[in-house]
Amino acid sequence: MRQRSPVDRVHNPHRRLLWRICLALMLCLMVGPVLAAPRPLILVMGDSLSAAYGIERQDGWVSLLTDRLAGKARVVNASISGETTAGGKTRLPELLRQHDPDIVLLELGGNDGLRGLPPAQMRSNLADMIEASQASGAEVALLGIDIPPNYGQAYREAFTGVFTALAERYEIPLLPFMLDDVALHDELMQDDGIHPTAAAQPQILDNVWPVLAPLLENSGAELAERQG
């Protein structure tokens, strides 16, 4: 069998072209994953206020958030109507394991208040959820809520005080009242007086955005000054 000379191997134009193509493909495979940074993932743990109760799901503020992010971050909405802090505490570990979120938005407590459950119990459940989220490597923000005045001023102050105390203790962002500029406008509330209408959802998102945006930027999302 005739052996190819070094000259044949070096100067064969087809072989050199094939080698260059293979080298380019290898570089693309090695460099591509480094350049493509993963998008931050937001996990929303909420109740009916985040589960679009009484309206189309695509009209809810969490769906509007997905639209506003325009692919710069992913959103998992794990909200369930009627959820309490106890239920959220039970579900959270598996959700953290499954999704490994960068940011956790805790929007729970409203149903605890409406049921007259002890604020100390709500505080303990939320504290456990904050600690579990932080232990998984996620940043956390609290989305607070208020309850009607007929529950009594003492209970109401103890209830809302839970969110403030937890935000201070864990040094996390707090939205004191998620339904600001919504709850007192009858045209933005459903007939039950508790749940906002579809028309109120953009305002709710605007309330949440100043709390969420810095966390997204910390997680590497490049956001415009004003989205949506």
Q: Which of 102, 112, 195, 219 is catalytic?
A: 195
Nearest to 103 by CA among 206, 180, 53, 173: 173
11 is catalytic: no
How many angstroms separate the Cα of 200 from the Cα of each of 14, 66, 174, 181, 209?
66, 17, 20, 9, 15
Cα 188 vs. chain centroid, distance in angstroms?
Answer: 24
| Residue type (1 letter), 163 | F
| Residue type (1 letter), 172 | I
Strand 74-77 relative to strand 41-46, pairing: parallel
181 is catalytic: no
Nearest to 85 by CA among 41, 132, 39: 132
| Rounded Cα distance, 78 and 37, in Å | 24
Q: Are 103 and 41 in contact (CB under 8 A)?
A: yes
Kindly state the DSSP code that residue 186 receives in the 8-state scheme: G
48 is catalytic: yes
| Rounded Cα distance, 161 and 141, in Å | 16
Q: Which of 48, 50, 136, 219 is catalytic?
A: 48
Q: Are 195 and 171 in contact (CB under 8 A)?
A: no
Q: Which of 14, 186, 191, 192 is catalytic?
A: 192
Collapsing DSSP states into helix, strand and coil, what is residue 122? helix
Burial code (b: 16+ CB inside 10 Å, e: under 16) for 84-107 equals bbbbbbeebeebbeebebbbbbbb
Catalytic residues: 48, 192, 195
